[in-house]
Amino acid sequence: MEAIRNDMDPSIISMSMQIETRRFTRSELGEAFAVKSRDLEHLSVAFMIDARDFLRSCKMLSDWPRLRSLILTAPIMTKGSRDSISGLLVNTGEVAQQMLHLKSLTIWHCSREKACAVIFHKNEREDRNGHDSATLTWRGTRDFDFSKEVVETWQKVVLHMIERVEDEIISHGDAIYHLRLPDGVIDPTSLRQICQEGTLQREAWAVEAEPSGWT
């Protein structure tokens, strides 16, 4: 299964990785991606692994000389408690500090009527004091505040923002659009299929909602 996008810039030497998923448990697959990420510039994996397994393995590693963008999914983002999500974000921040060339990082998830993402983005320009500037944004259908521990973990490198998504989430396509996820979160062909499925789902729900006409 092709899981890595390295064709974002033709000037970058592309690398690809094939992983035979049947040989791994989900946690082992997360570890495999963590190890391979040290050799990559861009990694985007949706629903195949849990970001928590990836990050847990990253804590036993060091030195990501090339990695610039990272996109992962974690079911806990829509299904977990505030404390569990905060724990995930603390771990993410600790790992991100070791990825010295990282420009963007997104952890997201969606289910019916729910979609949430945390997005780290490092700006190309320095701030007025000549320092690198970056933002950490929570964007989702559920309310969330960064805990003190999360802020302390990230505060040296980011500003933080909270954005509530009020739009209806029916499909993965809705989630990707309303969360304003970065390019590369999913390949274009799959995204078109997801959008088509979302349109069909809306039409089906509209038919179900129509009065039957029987008295």
What pLDDT is attached to residue 185? Answer: 66
Give Cβ neighbours of residue 87 (< 8 Å, ≥ 6 apart): none
Question: How far is 78 from 7, CA to CA, in rounded Å?
Answer: 31
Residue 193 has pLDDT above 80, yes or no: no
Q: Is residue 112 predicted with pLDDT exceeding 90?
A: no
Q: Is the pLDDT of residue 108 over 80?
A: yes
13 pLDDT more than 50: no
> Range with the lowest mean pLDDT among 16-20, 57-61, 119-123, 169-173?
16-20
Tell me the DSSP string of 63-87. --SS--EEEEE-THHHHS-HHHHHH
pLDDT value at residue 11: 33
CB-CB neighbours of 52 under 10 Å: 21
Give the C-alpha separation, 16 to 3, whole Å.
Answer: 8
Cα atoms found within 13 Å of the Cα of residue 109, Cβ hemisphere only: 17
Residues 103-126, mean pLDDT to the nearest whole number: 88
Place of tokens 């299929």: 193
- The mean per-residue pLDDT over the stretch 32-61 comes to 95
Residues 6+ apart with CB under 8 A from 197: 171, 173
Higher pLDDT, 202 or 40: 40
Q: What is the mean pLDDT of the chain?
A: 77
The Cα–Cα gap between 215 and 164 comes to: 42
What percent of the chain clears pLDDT 90, i.e. is strictly above it?
46
Question: In this predicted structure, what is the pLDDT of residue 177?
Answer: 73
pLDDT, position 173: 72
**HEC secondary structure over 17-44:** CECCHHHCCHHHHHHHHHHHHCCCCEEE
How far apart are alpha carbons 65 and 39 in whole angstroms?
Answer: 7
Higher pLDDT, 62 or 133: 62
- Residues 122-139 have a mean pLDDT of 73
